[in-house]
Structure 1
Amino acid sequence: MDVQRVTLRKMTPSEYDAATGHREAETARELGKFMPEELAWERARQDTVRFLPDGLDTTGHHLVVAENGSAEVVGNAWIGPDPRQAAATADSAWLYDINVLPAFRRRGYGSAILSAAEELVAREGWTSLGLNVSGDNEAAIALYRRNGYDVESMSLRKSVQHAPGTDNN
């Protein structure tokens, strides 16, 4: 696979709308595994409002598209302060979202976008970049591992059913 390079630039309003729609749909799809679809969509929209109260212009957040050497948009990313740290002490950035457009997948652009995001993080003075990934997203996990990311924590879940005819008393 060729080593790709990309340049990041701020999203336009229409690119932001498209990226937000895609991100909310993916979030709702993931949350829909654990809750009703309507509630999953509501939660996805609430997260956008909570983390991006000023949308594209939310202070401290970088909503960017990645362009290849031919100036084609190949993907996008959302990088901001680590939500697990207090704002006054935040030295870690968070990769809230990364997306390689379907026509450009499996060509090295995921790694290129990660590399460009890491450069942005370093320029901003952050010392690390964290992220979450769904445990069943094997392609994304492989991408992050290839690029030097380590597992920091892990959540596990098992669905259990109440057996009919049993009493909780």
Structure 2
Amino acid sequence: MAGQQVTLRTMTAAEYESATEHREAESVRALSRLMPEEAARERVRNGTARFLPDGLDTAGHHLLTAENARGEAVGNAWVGPDPGQTAGAAWLYDINVFPQHQRQGYGSAILAAAEKLIAAEGKTALGLNVVGDNEAAIALYRRSGYDVTSMAMRKHIQPS
């Protein structure tokens, strides 16, 4: 369904906890393909502590809930400073559409609203990372005009 619109608002404390649990679980799932699960958990926990030292109140970061026209929460996003410190750029750390609202155009709407937010702050670019096998997300970003700026690849080799 094209043409969805969302309004972004700051997450509540409960929404932040839920979003953090979801983001960390998904990140551990992805990283566990590359390292032992406990190492992945540690890396993800350290990342949260590093990038969001004050949680929901971390300066310069927007932890957002997206609501549709009926006021229903349909997803969330985390936008903040570019970790690579690229001049004029912000970073999309996470975007999530809740399962019951997926495949309805809300991903595009949340992304567009996040772009509008950072443009209002004077930013001229929004960067992000995406897991290589997340075909739905890759398609969303391509449809939204995002280009690949780097690519890392890996092949697991069995020791002989």
TM superposition score normalised by structure 2: 0.98
Aligned residues: 160
Aligned positions of 1:97-112 closer than 5 A: 97-112=94-109
SS at match of 2:93: strand
- The one of 138, 143, 149 equivalent to 1:141 is 138
Q: Does 2:122 match 1:121? A: no
What is the match of residue 58 of structure 1? 58
Task: Provide structure 1 residue ranges, at least 5 long, that are not aligned to the other structure.
Answer: 164-169
Identity rate, percent: 68
Cα distance change of structure 1 residues 67 and 101 upon mapping to structure 2, 3 Å threshold: same
Instruction: Find runs of 4+ consecutive structure 1 residues off by over 2 angstroms.
Output: none
What is the match of residue 151 of structure 1? 148
> Computing the radius of gyration over CA atoms, which structure comes out larger, 1 or 2?
1
What is the match of residue 72 of structure 2? 72
Checking the alignment, whether the CA contact within 8 Å between 1:80 and 1:95 is kept in structure 2 is yes
- 1:31 alignment partner AA: L
Post-superposition offset of 1:109:
0.1
CA RMSD of aligned residues (A): 0.9
Q: Distance in 2 between matches of 1:91 and 1:51?
A: 19
Post-superposition offset of 1:161:
2.3
Post-superposition offset of 1:2:
3.2
SS at match of 1:29: helix
SS at match of 2:70: coil
SS at match of 2:84: coil
TM superposition score normalised by structure 1: 0.93
- 2:130 alignment partner AA: V
Q: Distance in 2 between matches of 1:101 and 1:143?
A: 15
Post-superposition offset of 1:70:
0.2
- 1:8 alignment partner AA: L
Task: Provide structure 2 residue ranges, at least 5 long, that are not aligned to the other structure.
Answer: none
- 1:83 alignment partner AA: P
What is the match of residue 166 of structure 1? none
SS at match of 2:149: coil
Post-superposition offset of 1:37:
0.8
